[in-house]
Structure 1
Amino acid sequence: MYALVDCNNFYASCETLFRPDLRGKPVVVLSNNDGCVIARSAEAKRLGIRMGIPAFKIRHAVQQHGIIVFSSNYALYADMSARVMATLEQLAPAVEVYSIDEAFLELSGIPLPQLQPLGERIRHTIGRHQGLSVCVGIAPTKTLAKLANHAAKRWPATGGVVVLNERARQQKLMQLVPVTDIWGVGRRLGKRLAEQGIRTALDLARCPPERIQKQFSVVLARTVRELNGNACLSLESIPAPRQQIICSRSFGERVTDKTVMQHAITTHAWRAGEKLRGQNSLASQLSLFIQTSPFTPGEARYSNQATGHFPTLTADARDLLAMARRLLDCIWQDGYRYAKAGILIHDIAAPGCQQESLLDSPARERTDTLMATLDNINQQGIGKVWLAAQGMEAHQPEWGMKRQRLSPAYTTRWQDLISIG
């Protein structure tokens, strides 16, 4: 049996967690540069605020209904997510962190009569320890666990916990769920399935997997088997290393100065290097892109990208930043108002995939020690260390995102701790 634990309205819930005065009020969270709505409280959903709608289109609703608007506070969300996952690891034999607000649990060896009480215990413990509400779906496969979680969220009468261990109950639920709500089936694929009369999850479950594989894909055929209780997807307690790492950001203000752009792209390269080292990988290629906005009328448009190859596989931040600066020299053009830039690391490999010279080994060991020390300092909250190429304003860069409604970092910054007096 598998369980899927999903935090309810996660970003919005994190914002109201430390603001009890906002509970019961409509709350929305905006994307980078305060662009679009990416999270809504239950009260905001009831007002008809759609996911992805641009912020300027809800100005009237914000004033009319008193909607509270927040900028994205990624430091707060990441820290609360880590706390939830740590709690889950104490409650289940094995945990797969699926996303910032979702996790699969592997429940081998737990008797069936204990599954419902376990789900209730998970809800109670996270609510007590982290102050967040979660829903729990439990079933014989990960796809069915996703469906069970969907039911737990949709129907309050379930109490936030649904256990689908009986085939009759699984089929009853699948008959109520549109095929587009199945894990991995989006609108485009759902439209193709509907053309063949497959409109509900039960319709898909009754299709022969061989036929689905021939007409669509092996992935969808695997989904059909999972809907019929045949587990095809195992728990991934250790996530697979990413084959590409991208760090990009739209600027809060247009960038016209090359030095400012250098600070931006080297900061992206630094962050990409942290992710690369975090999964214990090395890179052989780095790409850089810069672009103006395609939506601003009357402005000259320009976009370009370049790719560089490292002589040897590396995860050294100094190599990554130096390459980013060289590539920028190749594609930079004066006279444009740049809106976005990004770094892409690809051709990623594990250590030991390249034959090294005996003379390189001591240097590589010193580099690994230096990078590990820098990463440890930054991750442990001792302080923030960066390379001079990122600019002296690396903490609060002038090219940074617009976050005019940013809440405090309640759990990760000493000066933002709540004081009660």
Structure 2
Amino acid sequence: MFALVDCNNFYVSCERVFNPGLNGRPVVVLSNNDGCIIARSAEAKTLGIAMGTPVFRCRSLLKRHDVAVFSSNYPLYGDMSSRVMALLAELAPAIELYSIDESFLDLSGFGRLDVRMFGQQLRRKVGRWTGIPVSVGIASTKTLAKVANRLAKADERYGGVCVLDDDEAVCQALRQTAVEDIWGIGRRWGRTLGLCGIRTAEDLAAASSEQVRRMLHVTGARVQAELRGQSCLPLEEVRPRKQSICTSRSFGHAVTSFDGLHQAVATFAARTAEKLRQEGLVASMLTVFAGTSRFAPPQERCWLSRTIPLGTSTADSLVLVSAASRLLEALFQQGYDYRKAGVLVSGLEDRAAAAHEPELFGSDPGHDDARRKLMAAMDEVNRTCGHGTIRLASEGRDAWRPQQAYLSPRYTTQWSDILEIRG
């Protein structure tokens, strides 16, 4: 048996943990640059506010119903996610972190226990220890657990926990699930299947295996097998190694000068290097890109991008920032309003393995060791004292920063933002 634990309206729930006055009030969280709505409370959904709605289109609605609006507070959300996942890891023998607010648990050793009772106990403990409400779906495959979780979240009669442990329960759940809502299907394949009369998960499970494989290939065949109770997707306790790492942002204001764009690219390159070191990886390829708004008139649009090989696979901030700066110098074109930029590294490999393959004309090993120690010291200071405590001089903090007019305090990751209680 698998359990899928999903945090309810996660970003909104994180805001409510530290601001109980938001309970019962409609709340929305916005995307980067406060552009679109990416999270909604149940009360906001009731008002008809759709996911992805641009803020300017519903500003009057938000004001009329006194909707609380927040900018995305990713340091807070990431820290709260870590707390929830650490607690779940203590409650189950194996866990797969699927996303920032979802994880699969392995319940294969729970044969003598009442899994429904376990799910309720898990909900109560996560809610009591972290303040985050969760829904739990339990079934014999990961896809069925997704179906169960969707029902647990949508139907109050389940009390937040839905268990599909017999054929009748599975059939009823599949009958209530639209085919486009199945994990791994989506709207595009859902439309294709609908043209063939397959409109529910029950229809897909009952369809001809040959027809499904012909239409949806191996992925669709695997989904169908999972809906039939055949487990094809094992728990991934160890996350597969990334093939690339990217850091990019949309700017809060147009950037027109080389210096402004250079500050942004240098910052993204340094952050990408940090991510590499956190993953224990090094990169051999570097890409820098920048562009104007896609809504700009055709004659005012510009997209710059170039990829170069690095001499030696590295995760050194100084090396990556220097290489990214040289690339930008070659790419930059004056006269455009740049609205986005980013740095991407690829050709990733394990740092330990790469260290045992020295270059014939590489630098002095002692110098490389000193630089690794320098990077480790920077990471430790930033981890202990706060991100950005030590940074390169070329990193900037100017107008390219995204707009965050409704940002809440970083209650758990910034000393100055910790709540104060006065008697």
TM-score (norm 2): 0.95
Give the Cα–Cα distance (whole angstroms) in 2 for the partners of residues 230 and 372 of structure 1.
46
Whole-angstrom distance in 2 between the partners of 1:291 and 1:350: 32
Name structure 1 gaps, 5 residues minimum.
none
1:66–1:381 Cα change, 3 Å = same
Alpha carbons 2:255, 2:399 under 8 Å: kept: no
Counterparts of 2:381 and 2:390, CA distance in 1: 7
* 1:365 alignment partner in structure 2: 369
C-alpha separation in 1, matches of 2:20 and 2:51:
24
In the TM superposition, 1:173-192 aligns within 5 A as 173-192=173-192
Q: 1:211 to 1:271 in 2, by over 3 A?
A: same
User: Is it true that 1:62 corresponds to 2:66 in the alignment?
Assistant: no
Q: 1:33 corresponds to which residue?
A: 33
What does residue 380 of structure 2 align with?
Answer: 376
Contact 1:27 1:43 in 2 (8 A): yes
**Pairing 1:202-351 to 2, within 5 Å after superposition:** 202-297=202-297, 300-351=300-351
Higher mean C-alpha deviation, range 178-187 or range 214-223? 214-223
Question: How big is the shift at 1:268?
Answer: 0.7
Q: Deviations over 1:117-158 (max 9, x none)?
A: 110111000110111110000111110110110010010010
Q: Structure 1 2/360 Cα, relative in aligned 2: closer, same or farther at 3 Å?
A: farther
In the other structure, the counterpart of 1:145 is 145
1:5 partnered with 2:5: yes
Q: Can you list the C-alpha shifts for 1:183-235, whole angstroms capped at 9, x where unaligned?
A: 01111010111111111101111134344223321111111111111111111
The yes-or-no answer on 1:408 pairing with 2:409 is: yes
* Equivalent position amino acid for 1:268 in 2: F
The answer for the alignment partner of 1:388 in structure 2 is 393
Name the CA distance, whole Å, in 1 between partners of 2:374 and 2:229: 49
Moved more, 125-134 or 372-381: 372-381
Deviations 1:320-366 (A, max 9, x none): 11111011011111222111111111122223258314765444333
Q: Tell me the CA shift for residue 369 of structure 1.
A: 2.6
* Counterpart residue number, 1:43: 43
SS of the aligned residue for 2:347 comes to strand
1:405 to partner: Cα distance: 0.5
State how far apart, in whole Å, the 1-side matches of 2:364 and 2:209 are: 53
Partners in 1 of 2:246 and 2:21 — Cα distance?
38
Separation of aligned partners in 1, 2:364 and 2:194: 59
RMSD: 1.7
SS of the aligned residue for 1:234 comes to coil
381 and 117 in structure 1: CA distance in 2 versus 1, 3 angstrom threshold: farther
Q: Secondary structure at the match of 1:284?
A: strand
CA–CA separation in structure 2 for the residues paired with 1:26 and 1:280: 42
Letter in 2 for 1:249: R
Query: Counterpart amino acid of 1:412?
Result: T
Which residue is equivalent to 2:419?
A: 418
TM-score for the superposition, normalised by structure 1: 0.95
Match of 1:110? 110
Distance 1:209 1:355 in 2: 48
Q: Distance in 1 between matches of 2:112 and 2:87?
A: 22
**Residues in 1 aligned to 2:43 and 2:386: alpha-carbon distance in whole angstroms:** 39
Task: Check conservation: 2:151, 2:162, Cα contact below 8 A.
Answer: yes
Kindly provide the CA deviation profile for residues 370-404 of structure 1, in whole angstroms up to 9, marking residues without a partner as x. 2222222222335621111214x4xxx33101000
Q: Return 5+ residue gaps in structure 2 as ranges.
A: none
Distance 2:71 2:374 in 1: 35
Residues 73 and 406 in structure 1, CA contact (< 8 A), matched pair in contact too: yes
CA displacement, residues 96-137 of structure 1 (integer Å, 9 cap, x when unaligned): 111111111111211254211110111000110111110000
Q: Distance between the aligned counterparts of 1:65 and 1:52, measured in 2?
A: 19
Q: Which moved more, 1:297-306 or 1:216-225?
A: 297-306
CA distance in 2, matches of 1:113, 1:390: 54
Q: Which amino acid aligns with 2:51?
A: M
- Counterpart mapping for 1:163-182 below 5 A: 163-182=163-182
2:22 and 2:403 mapped to 1: Cα distance?
23
* Of 152-161 and 313-322, the range deviating more from structure 2: 313-322
Q: Is the CA contact 2:386–2:413 (under 8 Å) kept in the aligned structure 1?
A: no
Q: 1-side partners of 2:256 and 2:167: how far apart? A: 62
Give secondary structure in 2 for the equivalent of 1:245. strand
Letter in 1 for 2:159: G
Amino acid of the structure 2 residue aligned with 1:4: L
- Which whole-Å CA distance do the structure 2 matches of 1:273 and 1:156 have between them? 45
- The letter of the residue matching 2:263 is H
Q: Percent same amino acid among aligned pairs? A: 47
Cα separation, 2, equivalents of 1:127 and 1:210 = 45
Counterpart in the other structure of 2:357: 355
Aligned residue for 1:289, secondary structure, equals strand
What SS does the corresponding residue of 1:420 show, helix, strand or coil? coil
Aligned residue identity for 1:403:
Q
Counterpart residue number, 2:159: 159
Of the structure 1 ranges 34-43 and 279-288, higher mean CA displacement relative to structure 2 is found in 279-288
C-alpha separation in 2, matches of 1:220 and 1:365? 49
CA–CA distance in structure 2, aligned partners of residues 32 and 45 of structure 1: 21
3-state SS, counterpart of residue 69 of structure 1:
strand
Q: Report the equivalent of 1:399.
A: 400
